Amino acid sequence: GAVVSQHPSRVICKSGTSVKIECRSLDFQATTMFWYRQFPKQSLMLMATSNEGSKATYEQGVEKDKFLINHASLTLSTLTVTSAHPEDSSFYICSAPRTTEIAQYFGPGTRLLVL
């Protein structure tokens, strides 16, 4: 079964509003989680690494004030898209590795549409 969940699965919002996406590890603790963005028919683009108890690490070109990440506990990381604009419309996916494993386990993704 699923080991990483995401909520909501789909969200439609108006331009200028903020949207929060939650990522939870279901049966393990994750000190690190990853946030990706994926455009149609394209591969995953790593946005940031979420670290429990410390600041997230953002990839080059990703605005940290635009995409706020909070790793509130060992099982929860949140991504908030602030002042969303239509160009932020995309598929956002989180992932987490189990403590003793290298492979990442992905959430089901959140489809964001900004009108």
Partner 1 sequence: QKEVEQDPGPLSVPEGAIVSLNCTYSNSAFQYFMWYRQYSRKGPELLMYTYSSGNKEDGRFTAQVDKSSKYISLFIRDSQPSDSATYLCAMVDTGGFKTIFGAGTRLFVKA
Report the interface residues with partner 1, using CB under 8 A.
4, 6, 32, 34, 41-44, 46, 49, 91, 93, 95, 101-109, 111
Of 2 and 72, nearer to partner 1 (C-beta) is 2
What would the 3-class secondary structure string for 4-42 be? EEEECCEEEECCCCCEEEEEEECCCCCCEEEEEEECCCC
Of 81 and 96, nearer to partner 1 (C-beta) is 96
Query: Minimal distance in Å, beta carbon 18 to partner 1?
Result: 23
Query: Minimal distance in Å, beta carbon 31 to partner 1?
Result: 11
Query: Minimal distance in Å, beta carbon 16 to partner 1?
Result: 26
- Which residues have CB under 8 Å from 109's CB, separation 6+? 6, 9, 38, 91, 92, 93
Of 9 and 83, nearer to partner 1 (C-beta) is 9
Q: Which of 57, 2, 52 is nearest to 25 (CA)?
A: 2
